[in-house]
A and B are shown apart, each in its own frame.
Chain A
Amino acid sequence: MNCSFTEKISSLIDGELSTAEAREVERHMPGCNDCQQLRADFLSLRSQIAGFETSLQPEVQNRALKKILGTERPGPARGLRWSFGAPAVAFATLVIAAAIVGLLLYQSSNKTQRDSQGIASVNQTPSPAQSGSGPQSKQQQQPEASPEPSREQPTQNKNNDETPRRQPSAPKRPIVREPKPGEQFAAVPGPVRSADAQTLTAMHFEKSETLLLAFRNVRLNEPGTATEVGYERKRAQQLVYQNMMLRREADTSGDVQISSLLESLEPILIDIANLPEHPDEDAVRVIRERVERKNIVPLLRVNSTALARALD
């Protein structure tokens, strides 16, 4: 294969080309069979590698977590231990020395007061309240000093390995998770949908994935240059209409999974399509964060793989 674009094809499918380079390659591709074949082969390889299923069992994962959280952590973190500089140590020493001197002076000059303080402390020692609440107060202090609360989590999981694994993360990070191996093939639609629709959907997912990867790699913060997303905008505009059409088709066929994925994708495509030529960084960042949060790139990849395999 002698075409000079071959290396760029690899970067193109990773969304790692600059806008100008991507345009150049896309202009070149329709006239070059070698490059078209190369792109298709690279994407096919990607499907094979991304579709690799690990044989991890949920109970193994829970056991591992339990073991890690059950292991003692060595005292304070290393970074913390060395973070006290010489001035801080000198200051602390000075404060302690001053406190000792103050205490000694106080004790020698005011004996009566010291005695009354002693009586008060003696009275406090046998207090009935303390004997009752001793262990309780100890328990209240413990969570701050030991990882007990987190150890409870895996114990709960032990009783029910399947469902509560995501419990701690649910309120903070709802979806950010690699799809499980079993889920990858759950996305294969039933025979109701036509092969054409499946092919179009698989292609649409791949194009959208490439677009989102390119969008993720748009350079921000480069001094002297405004963020340019012209290429991504144009691609998004093209894909939005196709997305709407395919979503309606999936709805009609009753393919809920594909339909819901297209539904998640649609607002993202619309947002990218509606960006100005030179958007501010925040606008780009917000969309990127949404893409990450919805875990949409892996889902697109998994579904396009599954659809392609179903067609094979």
Chain B
Amino acid sequence: MASEDEEFTMLFQDFYPSLCRFLECLLGGRAPLAQDLAQESFLQLHRTAWGTMPVGEARFWLYRVARNMAINEFRKSNTRYRLFDRVVEVMRPRARTPEQEYETQERNAMVLEMLQTLPEDQRTALLLREQEQLSYREIGQVLNVSESKVKVDIFRARAALRERWNKVSGVSRVAGVGNS
């Protein structure tokens, strides 16, 4: 039991922050709610599936459960948490300079806004790809869809975001990236 809990702690430390980030992007920036759902996902894992599941599977299981919880949240009121989240955001301790903090917030807000324009399945697939670096096969495993659907969803998501991004910024930003 001791080593089981130790392993669980390792898994938690490795993936809790990523899961929070994934949920925050999926939910459109509701950080406290994202953290609660991430905690709830881990709690379910610990109570029901931990010990009967290979550790390698646990990560996919967590993302699957977390995503389902997020979908349930979409169905609930969208406004309930907004004010509370805003207050938490304002009260959050700041380690950087105000300029850096402002820049980060602006960038985060823009990313969230763009992501919210995508259908949920495309958004989830893209987040799992770009943030969690899962392969198409692994994303298919999490979302219970085929690899080819994942491929198409990710391409469509990128194409839609690109179009929107170009509209918003007016020019295509290439952020110091060269062509091979």
Residues of A within 8 A of B (CB): 6-7, 10-11, 14, 16, 26, 29-30, 36-57, 60-61, 64-65, 67-69, 71, 73-74, 77-80, 143-147, 149-150, 153, 165-166, 168-169, 172-173, 176-178, 180, 182, 185, 198-199, 202-203, 206-207, 213, 216-217, 297-298, 301, 304-305, 307-309, 311-312
Cross-chain contact of B176 among A65, A146, A199 (Cβ < 8 A): A199
Q: Measured between alpha carbons, how far is A37 from B108 in the docked complex, in Å?
A: 24
Residue of A nearest to B89 (CB): A55
> Does B86 belong to the interface (CB within 8 Å)?
no
> Does B83 belong to the interface (CB within 8 Å)?
no
Q: How far is the CB of B63 from chain A (nearest CB, A)?
A: 14
Residues in chain B near residue A180, CB distance under 8 A: 17
Q: Which residue, of B14, B111, B173, B180, has the highest number of chain A Cβ atoms within 10 A?
A: B180
Residues in chain B near residue A198, CB distance under 8 A: 176
Q: Are B51 and A77 in contact (CB under 8 A)?
A: yes
Q: Measured between alpha carbons, how far is A39 from B162 in the docked complex, in Å?
A: 11
Residues in chain B near residue A150, CB distance under 8 A: 2, 5-6, 8-9
Residue of B nearest to A10 (CB): B155
> Could you mark each residue 1-31 of chain B with 1 if its beta carbon is under 8 Å from any beta carbon of chain A, else 0?
1100110111011101110110011000001
Q: How far is the CB of B121 from chain A (nearest CB, A)?
A: 16
Q: Are B173 and A44 in contact (CB under 8 A)?
A: yes
Q: Are A153 and B9 in contact (CB under 8 A)?
A: yes
Q: Are A16 and B17 in contact (CB under 8 A)?
A: no
Chain B residues with a Cβ closer than 8 Å to the other chain, count: 70
Q: Which 7 A-B pairs have the closest CB atoms?
A: A150-B5, A79-B52, A308-B176, A311-B176, A169-B10, A54-B21, A308-B175
> Could you mark each residue 23-51 of chain B with 1 if its beta carbon is under 8 Å from any beta carbon of chain A, else 0?
01100000100110011001100111011
Given A40-B172, A49-B111, does the pair A65, B177 have CB atoms closer than 8 Å?
Answer: no
Q: Are A36 and B175 in contact (CB under 8 A)?
A: no
Residue of A nearest to B155 (CB): A10
Given A40-B177, A44-B174, A145-B1, does the pair A56, B17 have CB atoms closer than 8 Å?
Answer: yes
Q: Measured between alpha carbons, how far is A57 from B91 in the docked complex, in Å?
A: 12
Q: Are A49 and B180 in contact (CB under 8 A)?
A: no
- Interface 9-mer from B64-72, B74-82, B123-131: B123-131
Q: How far is the CB of B104 from chain A (nearest CB, A)?
A: 6
> Does B154 belong to the interface (CB within 8 Å)?
yes
Q: Measured between alpha carbons, how far is A79 from B173 in the docked complex, in Å?
A: 52
Residues in chain B near residue A307, CB distance under 8 A: 176
Q: How far is the CB of A147 from chain B (nearest CB, A)?
A: 5
Q: Taking chain B's interface residues, is the majority helix, strand, or loop, or is none over half, making it mixed?
A: helix
Q: Are A143 and B39 in contact (CB under 8 A)?
A: no
Residues in chain B near residue A145, CB distance under 8 A: 1
Q: Which of B125-141 contact A (CB under 8 A)?
A: 126-127, 129-131, 133, 135-136
Q: Measured between alpha carbons, how far is A185 from B179 in the docked complex, in Å?
A: 24
Q: Are B1 and A147 in contact (CB under 8 A)?
A: yes
> Does B178 belong to the interface (CB within 8 Å)?
yes
Given A41-B174, A150-B8, does the pair A143, B1 have CB atoms closer than 8 Å?
Answer: yes
Q: How far is the CB of B42 from chain A (nearest CB, A)?
A: 5
Residue of B nearest to A83 (CB): B52
Given A51-B107, A60-B35, A64-B38, does the pair A11, B9 have CB atoms closer than 8 Å?
Answer: no
Q: Are A44 and B175 in contact (CB under 8 A)?
A: yes
Residue of B nearest to A146 (CB): B1
Q: Are A71 and B8 in contact (CB under 8 A)?
A: no
Q: Are A49 and B131 in contact (CB under 8 A)?
A: yes
Residues in chain A near residue B104, CB distance under 8 A: 53
Q: Measured between alpha carbons, how far is A49 from B89 in the docked complex, in Å?
A: 20
Q: Are B13 and A166 in contact (CB under 8 A)?
A: yes
Could you jot down 15 A-B contacts, CB within 8 Å? A14-B135, A29-B179, A49-B111, A52-B25, A52-B107, A52-B112, A64-B38, A65-B9, A78-B48, A144-B2, A166-B13, A168-B6, A173-B10, A177-B14, A178-B14
Cross-chain contact of B9 among A7, A144, A168, A199 (Cβ < 8 A): A168
Cross-chain contact of B131 among A52, A217, A304 (Cβ < 8 A): A52
Q: Measured between alpha carbons, how far is A40 from B171 in the docked complex, in Å?
A: 13
Q: Are A199 and B178 in contact (CB under 8 A)?
A: yes
Q: Are B52 and A77 in contact (CB under 8 A)?
A: yes
Residues in chain B near residue A74, CB distance under 8 A: 47-48
Q: How far is the CB of B59 from chain A (nearest CB, A)?
A: 11
